[in-house]
A and B are shown apart, each in its own frame.
Chain A
Amino acid sequence: EAGVVQSPRYKIIEKKQPVAFWCNPISGHNTLYWYRQNLGQGPELLIRYENEEAVDDSQLPKDRFSAERLKGVDSTLKIQPAELGDSAVYLCASSSGLAGSEQFFGPGTRLTVL
């Protein structure tokens, strides 16, 4: 069974440029998460989807970040414009959505903003 797929794996951009990350969750997983992980820190939730609905986006910096999950499957996370402090690993995860269920993470996108 295929795991969570993310692309690109690495991205280097200059500040003020836009960037987008793509995620394809495990088939059948209704819940999709986007996390940001800084060096030496744990993943921090940016947004959580239940199917196509964003049910928790309280930690998403909405002035520059946006996300969508059309048709409740694939998802895209966008940053526009990027800032130096956005350099991090962006992880996508999916789960069945049941309480106590395991989250399966993708390999992440390592973003460097110069």
Chain B
Amino acid sequence: RKEVEQDPGPFNVPEGATVAFNCTYSNSASQSFFWYRQDCRKEPKLLMSVYSSGNEDGRFTAQLNRASQYISLLIRDSKLSDSATYLCAVEKSGGFKTIFGAGTRLFVKA
């Protein structure tokens, strides 16, 4: 079993739709969680960190469930420009090693 697992998708949604991605992690000692966005043939860029209390940035909402060991990303009112791969990243404690998931591809269509 991989340490960080994501649904690879792809998710094909129309503009304006709400879409949610989940990411599960196996190491209960993980301490920091992130969502990165990666456009085709580009480098990953931080979308948002995920806090225990959950956090929201505009149309994006991230949540953490430590008991079930998963994090989620919700995108509301999808835009064409949201089309990308979304990478989940989990930072392990005691060494700060970051493990990335394989990514979930999102296509938003007009």
Q: Which one of A18-26, A61-69, A96-104 is at the interface?
A: A96-104
Chain A, interface size category, equals 20 to 34
Q: Return the CB mask of A49-62 against B: 1 if under 8 Å, else 0.
A: 00000011000000
> Is B87 in contact with A42, judged by CB distance below 8 angstroms?
yes
User: Which residue of A is nearest B94, CB measured?
Assistant: A99
> Is B91 in contact with A40, judged by CB distance below 8 angstroms?
no
> Is B31 in contact with A99, judged by CB distance below 8 angstroms?
yes
**Which residues of A are at the interface with B, using a C-beta cutoff of 8 A?**
33, 35, 40-45, 48, 55-56, 91, 97, 99-100, 102-103, 105-108
22 CB-based A-B contacts, threshold 8 Å: A35-B100, A41-B102, A41-B103, A42-B100, A42-B102, A42-B103, A43-B44, A43-B87, A45-B97, A45-B98, A45-B99, A48-B97, A91-B44, A97-B96, A99-B31, A99-B91, A100-B31, A100-B49, A105-B45, A106-B43, A107-B42, A108-B43
**Which residues of B are at the interface with A, using a C-beta cutoff of 8 A?**
4, 8, 31-32, 34, 42-46, 49, 87, 89, 91, 95-103
